[in-house]
Amino acid sequence: MKRVLLLGAGHAQLSVLADVMRQRLPGGEVLLVTPQAQLLYSGMVPGLIAGRYALDHCTIDVGALARAASVPLRLGRAVALDAQAREVALADGERIGYDLLCLNTGPVQDRDRIPGAREHALFVRPIETFVELWQRARTLADERPVALVVIGNGAAGVELVLAARAGLGARHSLALVCDGDLLQGHPPTARARAQAALRRAKVQLLPGRCTAIEARHVVVGSMRVVCDLPVVATGSDAPAWLAGSGLALDDAGYVRVGATLQSASHANVLAAGDLIARDDAAHPRSGVYAVRAGPVLAANLRALVGGGTLVPYRPQRRSLNLLSLGDGRALASWGGWSAQGWMMGWWKDAIDRGFVRRWRDQPSKK
Ligand SMILES: Cc1cc2nc3c(=O)[nH]c(=O)nc-3n(C[C@H](O)[C@H](O)[C@H](O)COP(=O)(O)OP(=O)(O)OC[C@H]3O[C@@H](n4cnc5c(N)ncnc54)[C@H](O)[C@@H]3O)c2cc1C
């Protein structure tokens, strides 16, 4: 029997679980290790902050999926990997050996990049911790007007600050720190629409780099801005625990994989999601690409266990971006095209609810 370790219940790993649920993996003894049995779907978190969803709407029961697939679930967080010894170390000290590793632990945020952020700020990742702390922080906002500053001019930063306006109300002061252009990589029309939405929501744009976060202020360029609630949404980083793993990594520390999602250095390691850097076909890091990689990850794991030909994952050249604007409307963009409004909001809501429902319904399809 080959020991198959599924590490991280990310977007792509859900397909692996569903595949094993549909058809056992002959010759494989599968174990899932991930920190929580409930996966919070990030695409719906802005809607949760805006008060449009309850926590339950955004949650996928990975535990139920694992049970339906007869895959034991070990709750734990990897802190080290030795690809040569084929062993993963967990935060609680346990070491787990494997023959085949299927890696989908997602990205992290460097908590020390902005001095003071570790002590004073909320980080958007891990998303479960963010939501828990947000729910606590918002009790403060229920008591008195607060100054919220979101640091990050990408999609997550824009969505979260607009969601905060919708969820907290008009009496609070909201700002977005933009180190460079808003929504880089999006078409100019989408960026202009986002700018207008922020203006309508009375979100102040603070141009410049955030260089420090203090107990009651954030420092942006030469400004010291009053802030009760700093939220860091400045993109994501590769986990530091991969650095000494022996796996081939790119310069930023992401796992280098080829078309079949096999590690560039270790053929017994498959990886997918935001954690990877494709050697042959670089693509943006987003949930869309992680989800699309899922069926290929599942097929190739099956091929590695049972013998067979591995198939390539061909990422689409571009993807549809749907950003919620907090009030039920959304901003859609595709290549150079963009549109916004209630219809786009309805569309995003239908896609997101459909995604969660799809994974919730899996166990009953067994
Ligand atoms: C607020 C927000 C909104 C977003 N909205 C969208 C959107 O609408 N559309 C879109 O395409 N993208 C969106 N994204 C980006 C999206 O969240 C990521 O691209 C996506 O989550 C990456 O998927 P993944 O499978 O690689 O990792 P994840 O979804 O992060 O899953 C990783 C899994 O591994 C587990 N894990 C983490 N560390 C460890 C460890 N050390 N050991 C074991 N297990 C571990 C985690 O608990 C989790 O279960 C959004 C991001 C944010 C922050």
Cα of 236 from ligand 1 centre, angstroms:
10
Per-residue tokens: 4: 């198959």
Which residue do the tokens 């058809």 mark? 23
On the question of pLDDT at 93 being above 80, the answer is yes
Report which ligand 1 atom has the smallest distance to the Cα of 105: 34
- For 17-45, the pLDDT digits (tens) are 999 999 999 999 999 999 999 999 999 99
pTM, two decimal places? 0.96
- For 155-165, the pLDDT digits (tens) are 999 999 999 99
- For 188-206, the pLDDT digits (tens) are 999 999 999 999 999 999 9
What residues line ligand 1, using a CB cutoff of 6 Å? 7-12, 33-36, 39, 42-43, 45-46, 77-78, 104-106, 124, 126-127, 156, 159-160, 273-275, 285-288, 290
Q: Is the bond leading into 126 cis (omega within 30 degrees of zero)?
A: yes
* Residue 51 host element (H or E): none
* Average pLDDT of the segment spanning 33-60: 97
Cα of 107 from ligand 1 centre, angstroms:
7
Q: Could you tell me if 28 and 310 are in contact, meaning their C-beta atoms sit under 8 angstroms apart?
A: no
Q: Could you tell me if 271 and 255 are in contact, meaning their C-beta atoms sit under 8 angstroms apart?
A: yes
What 8-state DSSP symbol labels residue 254? P
On the question of pLDDT at 366 being above 80, the answer is no
Cα of 276 from ligand 1 centre, angstroms:
12
Q: What is the spatial distance between Cα 138 and Cα 48, in angstroms, rounded to a whole number?
A: 13
Q: What is the spatial distance between Cα 99 and Cα 59, in angstroms, rounded to a whole number?
A: 31
From 13, 105, 270, give the residue whose CB has the most ligand 1 atoms within 8 Å, as the site to mutate: 105
Report which ligand 1 atom has the smallest distance to the Cα of 236: 53
Cα of 14 from ligand 1 centre, angstroms:
12
**What sign does the dihedral 215-221-223-226 (CA atoms) show?**
negative
On the question of pLDDT at 226 being above 90, the answer is yes
In order of their start, the domains of the chain are 2-35+76-108+236-319 (3.50.50.60), 117-235+321-345 (3.50.50.60)
